[in-house]
Structure 1
Amino acid sequence: MSEAAVQEPQVATSGNEALLQRADLLYCLAQAFLPPPSHWTVCDWAQPLVDDLTEMAPGLPGLDLEDVKAALAAECARWAAQARAGGGDTWLVEYSRLFLVPPVPVTLNAGVYLEGALGGSSTQMMLACYEMAGVKPDERFHDLPDHVAMQLEFLARLYERAARGDADAQAMAEEFAAEFVHAWGGALQQACRKAAASFPAAAVFVALARLVRQTLGDPGLV
């Protein structure tokens, strides 16, 4: 996504480091829900992700990374066992089995969870929120505005603005999360959990979906 030209201070205002940390975490999670580089194994993908999350954790008290770390470690061990037996797919192949190859076991288009269809009113409402905030989807991103990664990046931008002094950005982020992300977060987590019975790699995204919900204070998270 790309922002319209706005004048923003270049240094976070005092006391708002936690907002910047939350923004960084949401940027990281947005990337985790996008297709990985074609030649990477899950281990290539997991290590920088764990490093980034671990680095951010001290700035976000109460953030629980254990589920994510355990899921990534289990998936790396599964891949290593397959590799020793002469197999082992790239992480893009595993990602594609889950999210791209029809009939997809799990969709990353949140409108399906919100209203059971693609391109419905919720998708148009999200697009209107992006436009109201002066943010528009990157032309290189070939998906609908309700894609999970697009929503997380949008929230990251809003929290980043809030940390730099935009008085309205945090309220806008919290309203967007309450209206949309809290409504689909549990359904995405459950869809990934169901898929994991046939696609073990989905367990990684169960943990990541839970981390999204935790980061944004989903009241339905238990």
Structure 2
Amino acid sequence: MENLQNDVQRRHQAKADACRMLSACYYEPEEAFLEEDIFGQLEQALSALDSEYAAAAQVMGACFREISYEDLRIDYTRLFLGPFNIRSKPYGSVYLDRGNIVMGDTTMAVLALYREGGFHVAEAFTEMPDHVAVELEFLYLLNARLGNGHTESNERNRLAELERSLLDEHLGQWIVPFTEAMKEGSCTAFYRKLADLTRRFVLGALRQPGMVLLP
């Protein structure tokens, strides 16, 4: 039983690390991605969950290195910033609320989840609270706590319920149309690979929250 518990905790921590690195990939590309070894850390985290996804992270990192920062930033701007025709709006409410709007009812709902989990979006963060990077960071926070051996049973159950709510009602519901728009609108292999890996990872978490078994 103790070995099983330790294995579950390790998988939660690996999932947390993967969420943190995936979240970082949705910020503007810069040299720090390589300096901080984001892709190596992502590959290592995913290797504890499924070797196929670790390989996908390795390919994604190779794509990042092969493309100029200028081309990556141009693609990032076209996909997520606009200002005119944003190819892949990275906000949950755009896909979940009627009217293709931001800061809709689902944004308020996910903010309530953050507060319940003790997570607060920094005032310096200028994006919407249902940005894909923020929802991935919240998933990271939940799994980091679930992977902590000192977390009590009642608190563990509460955290697992928050994760289920995030996946069932928010991130898991809009990740497919979002990443499909990414793939369709991208001009670089890096963002197409990022879209694929993000979709498959989140859908894997949706099927197996708490104890993640990627497909």
What is aligned with 2:91? 109
Q: Which moved more, 1:116-125 or 1:28-37?
A: 28-37
What is aligned with 1:136? 120
Bigger relative contact order, structure 1 or 2 (CA pairs below 8 A, ≥6 apart): 1
1:199–1:90 Cα change, 3 Å: closer
Select which of 23, 30, 39 maps to 2:16: 23
Compute the TM-score of the two structures, normalised by the length of structure 2: 0.77
Amino acid at match of 1:175: S
Q: In structure 2, what is the Cα distance between the partners aligned to 1:181 and 1:63? A: 22
Q: In structure 1, what is the Cα distance between the partners aligned to 2:120 and 2:90? A: 19
Select which of 159, 166, 174 maps to 1:176: 166
Q: Does 1:70 align with 2:59?
A: yes
**Cα drift, residue 194 of structure 1:** 1.3
Q: In structure 1, what is the Cα distance between the partners aligned to 2:197 and 2:122? A: 24
**Cα drift, residue 60 of structure 1:** 1.4
1:205–1:59 Cα change, 3 Å: closer
Contact 1:94 1:201 in 2 (8 A): no
Amino acid at match of 1:29: L
Structure 2 portions without partners, runs of 5+: 209-213
What is aligned with 2:72? 91
Q: In structure 1, what is the Cα distance between the partners aligned to 2:56 and 2:203? A: 12
Q: In structure 2, what is the Cα distance between the partners aligned to 1:99 and 1:138? A: 20
Q: In structure 2, what is the Cα distance between the partners aligned to 1:134 and 1:95? A: 30
Q: Does 1:127 align with 2:114?
A: no
Structure 1 portions without partners, runs of 5+: 1-12, 80-87
Is the helix fraction higher in 1 or 2?
2
Q: Specify the SS of the correspondent of 1:136.
A: coil
Compute the TM-score of the two structures, normalised by the length of structure 1: 0.75
Name the count of aligned residue pairs. Answer: 196
Could you report, residue by residue, the CA deviation over 1:165-205 in whole angstroms, capped at 9, with x for unpaired residues? 23221221122111111111111111012113x56553133
Matches within 5 A, 1:193-212: 193-196=183-186, 198=187, 201-212=190-201
**Cα drift, residue 153 of structure 1:** 0.5
What is aligned with 1:49? 38
Q: In structure 2, what is the Cα distance between the partners aligned to 1:29 and 1:92? A: 17
Amino acid at match of 1:106: S
